Amino acid sequence: MSRSPLIVRTVPALRRALDSLRAKKATTALVPTMGALHDGHVSLVRLAKRRAAKLIVSIFVNPTQFAPSEDFSSYPRTWKADVAKLAAENVDLIWNPDVKTMYPDGFATRILTEGPATVGLEDRFRPHFFGGVTTVVGKLFTQCRPDFAIFGEKDFQQLRVVTRMGRDLDLGVKVIGSPTVRERDGLAMSSRNVYLSAEERRVAPALYRAMKETAKRLRAGDDIKAAMAGGAELITDAGFILDYFEARHADTLAPIGSTKEGPVRILVAAKLGKTRLIDNFGV
Ligand code: PAF
């Protein structure tokens, strides 16, 4: 049986709700989201449930992580369906502040991170992005003070950045990554997949196939440059415009010259028509 989550929209109401959630010293887990929830988000909630007694999901489309040219105003917003999904998962609390609550007039603070935030992947193509993400996630962590926070591995660089930030600022939150959930044809679930036309949706799994094929070549000992060039070609031949297709150290995201340098992650970002997709794959 599902039960309706408590929905709170102001910081004082959040504090009261958290005090009562923690009354019996219950552990809490936070799943930060921008809504438009899909099965990938549901898997984050289910992982949270295995870690903590009480579940908090934040739904906030964060303007500071979008450049003026990006899709903040058209980002999918599916509030009723989101609440129904979270109710079905027995989420205890939905934190749904508005922009003024998160960024009141005069707001003048920004969390800027280096390390994994400055390795020349997403940061190269979306230079505004991590400043917005770390500022909002830093606020969500201090507002909700969860024991655990769950982030999808689909945004692999983001996962590394928020993990680093949580540690560096002693925020007392254990950040946990959750594996990417894919459609049957391999396309990683993403709220932005709704932007794809029927033809683009047919083509989109080429990203996954190219990563899988490249990982196979790397595991077999192929030269890294040749394998990456082969994968990039598969992606552009399918009709994508590539931002990057790179093999990086899975922990530091530093460039690598050989698979012997550590655990390797292939990371990709590419545009199909107007839609930019990102994905990654462990070697
Ligand atoms: O991954 C997302 O949905 C967002 O970047 C996050 C972590 C909720 C911050 O706005």
Quote the domain boundaries for residue 223. Answer: 191-282
Digit-coded pLDDT (tens) for 78-128: 999 999 999 999 999 999 999 999 999 999 999 999 999 999 999 999 999
Tell me if 210 is assigned to some domain.
Answer: yes
Name 33's bridge partners: 59
pLDDT greater than 70 at residue 1: no
Candidates 121, 115, 147, 120; CA nearest to 134 is: 115
Of 156, 178, 200, which residue is a domain's last? Answer: 178
CATH of the domain at 157: 3.40.50.620
Digit-coded pLDDT (tens) for 164-182: 999 999 999 999 999 999 9
- 128 carries an active-site annotation: no
95 and 135 co-located in one domain: yes
What's the 5 CA to ligand 1 centre distance in angstroms? 20
171 and 197 co-located in one domain: no
Burial 74-98 (b: 16+ CB within 10 A, else e): ebbebeeebbebbeebebbbbbbbe
Task: Return the best residue to mutate from 31, 44, 62 for the ligand 1 pocket (most ligand atoms within 8 A of CB).
Answer: 62
130 and 14 co-located in one domain: yes
Distance between CA atoms of 75 and 192, rounded to whole angstroms?
Answer: 8
For residues 112 and 133, the answer to whether their CB atoms sit within 8 Å is: no
Candidates 217, 213, 218; CA nearest to 256 is: 218
Contacts of 268 (CB under 8 A, 6+ apart): 207, 210, 211, 235, 242, 244, 245, 246, 278, 279, 280
